[in-house]
């Protein structure tokens, strides 16, 4: 071995900047199984605590990308992608990709599985009977060209470094690190070959980033890394103080996506999806202005074209497209346990991260790399911050296969709501602030 892995771990633990050679050696040796999981986990924890210099983050991203192949598309193809930094109930990619593809964009999307307390797009999609996310580089390229979009996972060919390290971070408490998030997201997004990228940067109690100052730092790192590697990146900051939509849990969210594509108006899903779609249509210059982009979004939702694209996508990736007509073909849970409010008043805050971790207990996410998911498990969570609830009213429901576990999860979710008996002007402003969404863009020409 060229280096001693322990010395590299100790150098990072002491806050030193690792060189390209050291990072490249460590990650290559890990992928070749010459460095064991426990040493990789130790390095990740050292990075978590000691952070990385922006140059080091750039190098780490490049090492991730170079661990596999890099896809290219013809320069005149309007390629664009979106990636979320992660949240509870975040199913936006699954409705956004068919909408934007139906408007004429091509979307090569490499996504992730559940991470920490958040769900993952790949796990949600794999709850569709037969659906696959493990396609080869060339099959992926073909689907993007022919179907308009494809959503697959990291593989031995595409960003294998992120595939292994992502799964390890999920179960070692090393997710909430700006350098690790940046390298993980940007490596996938550069390797997949999209020329344009919109980041949905989630901020709040259910996100990895809880405060705006840290979110702005992450946005800067993502935009700068994209710029250095020739990708145009826009960042939209969006609220993750309540879980997104009405459901959290793999198959439950697929059902919700189908209902949305069929025209059900779910306010937060609608607002954030429209905002991201407009951004993607502007970056690709498919729309000449935001008004035209907004109209295109409305049209493909209303005339059924977005749903048609979704069906074609499910079929192309091996899934049963009949789920679009009959959602009872999706996995179903044995029990539905109501979550009952013990107080009357306004929801001041929700510990959305605690909800995400509670859902892992019934199999909606993983505790170890080997954990088996229960695709039907999850929760109905219609109540958002700022909403009024009555004592003894149903504020949600747990979907599970084990009644005892379900009761305990329902209790944990109930306790994650902070309910105040009256609301002041201060609270009104606070609730408005919690709804804010706004955006930033890197400029490749500057």
- Retrieve residue 57's tokens: 């983050």
The conformation of residue 131, written as its DSSP 8-state character, comes to -
**Scanning residues 31 to 90, which ones bind ligand URA (CB under 6 A)?**
85-86
What track of x and - describes contact with ligand URA for positions 102 through 141 (by CB under 6 A)? ----------x--x--------------------------
CB of 183 to ligand URA, least distance (A): 8
Residues 341, 393: contact at Cβ < 8 Å?
Answer: yes
CB of 111 to ligand URA, least distance (A): 7
Contacting residue, 9, 41, 151, 181, with ligand URA by CB under 6 A: 181
Q: Which of 12, 188, 202, 312 is catalytic?
A: 188
Active site residue 188: yes
Residues 46, 5: contact at Cβ < 8 Å?
Answer: no
Chain centroid, CA 408 distance in Å:
27
Contacting residue, 59, 67, 184, 243, with ligand URA by CB under 6 A: 184
Active site residue 162: yes
CB of 182 to ligand URA, least distance (A): 8
Phi, psi of 432 (to 5 degrees): -65, -45
Query: Tokens 């509670």 appear where?
Result: 358
> DSSP alpha helices (H): ranges in 14-154?
20-31, 37-50, 54-66, 92-102, 121-126, 137-147
CB of 118 to ligand URA, least distance (A): 8
CA dist., res. 219 & res. 445, Å (int): 18
Q: 238 - beta bridge partners?
A: 202
Q: Which of 134, 95, 355, 131 is nearest to 249 (CA)?
A: 355
CA dist., res. 105 & res. 109, Å (int): 12
**Scanning residues 288 to 327, which ones bind ligand URA (CB under 6 A)?**
none
The nearer residue to ligand URA, 18 or 199, going by C-beta atoms, is 199
Q: Which of 11, 12, 82, 83 is catalytic?
A: 83
The nearer residue to ligand URA, 180 or 398, going by C-beta atoms, is 180
Strands 196-203 and 80-84: parallel
Q: Which of 81, 90, 123, 162 is catalytic?
A: 162
Q: Which of 184, 187, 205, 416 is catalytic?
A: 184
CB of 358 to ligand URA, least distance (A): 20
Contacting residue, 185, 278, 316, 324, with ligand URA by CB under 6 A: 185
Active site residue 349: no
What track of x and - describes contact with ligand URA for positions 337 through 356 (by CB under 6 A)? --------------------
CB contact burial 312-324 (16+ within 10 A = b; e otherwise): bbbbbbebeeebb
Which residues of the shown chain bind ligand URA in the complex (CB under 6 A)?
85-86, 112, 115, 180-181, 184-185
Q: Which residues are catalytic?
A: 83, 162, 169, 184, 188
């Amino acid at each position: 071995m060229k280096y001693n892995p322990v010395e590299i771990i100790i150098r990072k633990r002491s806050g030193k900047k690792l060189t390209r050679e050291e990072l490249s050696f460590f990650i290559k040796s890990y992928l070749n199984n010459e460095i064991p999981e426990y040493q990789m986990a130790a390095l990740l924890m050292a990075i978590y605590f000691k952070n990385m210099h922006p140059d080091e983050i750039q190098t780490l991203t490049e090492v991730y990308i170079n661990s596999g192949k890099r896809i290219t598309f013809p320069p005149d193809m309007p390629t664009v992608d979106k990636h979320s930094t992660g949240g509870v109930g975040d199913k936006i990619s699954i409705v956004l990709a068919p909408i934007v593809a139906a408007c004429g964009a091509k979307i090569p999307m490499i996504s992730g599985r559940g991470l920490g307390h958040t769900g993952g797009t790949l796990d949600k999609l794999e709850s569709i009977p037969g659906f696959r996310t493990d396609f080869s580089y060339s099959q992926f390229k073909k689907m993007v060209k022919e179907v308009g979009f494809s959503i697959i996972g990291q593989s031995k060919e595409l960003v294998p470094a992120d595939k292994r390290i992502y799964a390890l971070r999920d179960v070692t408490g090393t997710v909430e690190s700006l350098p690790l998030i940046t390298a993980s997201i940007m490596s996938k997004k550069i390797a997949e070959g999209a020329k344009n990228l919109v980041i949905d940067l989630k901020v709040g109690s259910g996100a990895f980033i809880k405060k705006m100052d840290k979110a702005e730092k992450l946005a800067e790192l993502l935009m700068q890394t994209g710029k250095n590697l020739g990708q145009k990146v826009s960042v939209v900051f969006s609220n993750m103080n309540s879980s997104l939509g009405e459901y959290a849990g793999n198959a439950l969210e697929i059902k919700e996506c189908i209902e949305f594509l069929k025209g059900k108006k779910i306010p937060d899903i609608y607002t954030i999806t429209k905002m991201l779609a407009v951004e993607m249509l502007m970056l690709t210059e498919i729309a000449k202005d935001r008004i035209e982009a907004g109209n295109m979004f409305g049209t493909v939702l209303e005339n059924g074209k977005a749903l048609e694209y979704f069906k074609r996508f499910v079929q192309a990736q091996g899934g049963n497209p009949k789920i679009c007509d009959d959602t009872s073909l999706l996995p179903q849970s044995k029990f539905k346990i109501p979550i009952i409010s013990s107080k009357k008043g306004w929801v001041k805050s929700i510990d959305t991260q605690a909800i995400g971790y509670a859902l892992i207990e019934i199999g909606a996410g993983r505790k170890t790399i080997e954990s088996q998911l229960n695709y039907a498990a999850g929760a109905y969570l219609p109540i958002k911050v700022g909403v009024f609830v009555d004592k003894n009213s149903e504020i949600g429901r747990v979907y599970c296969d084990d009644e005892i576990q379900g009761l305990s999860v329902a209790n944990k979710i109930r306790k994650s709501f902070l309910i105040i008996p009256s609301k002041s002007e201060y609270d009104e402003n606070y609730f408005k602030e919690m709804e804010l969404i706004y955006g930033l863009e890197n400029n490749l020409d500057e």
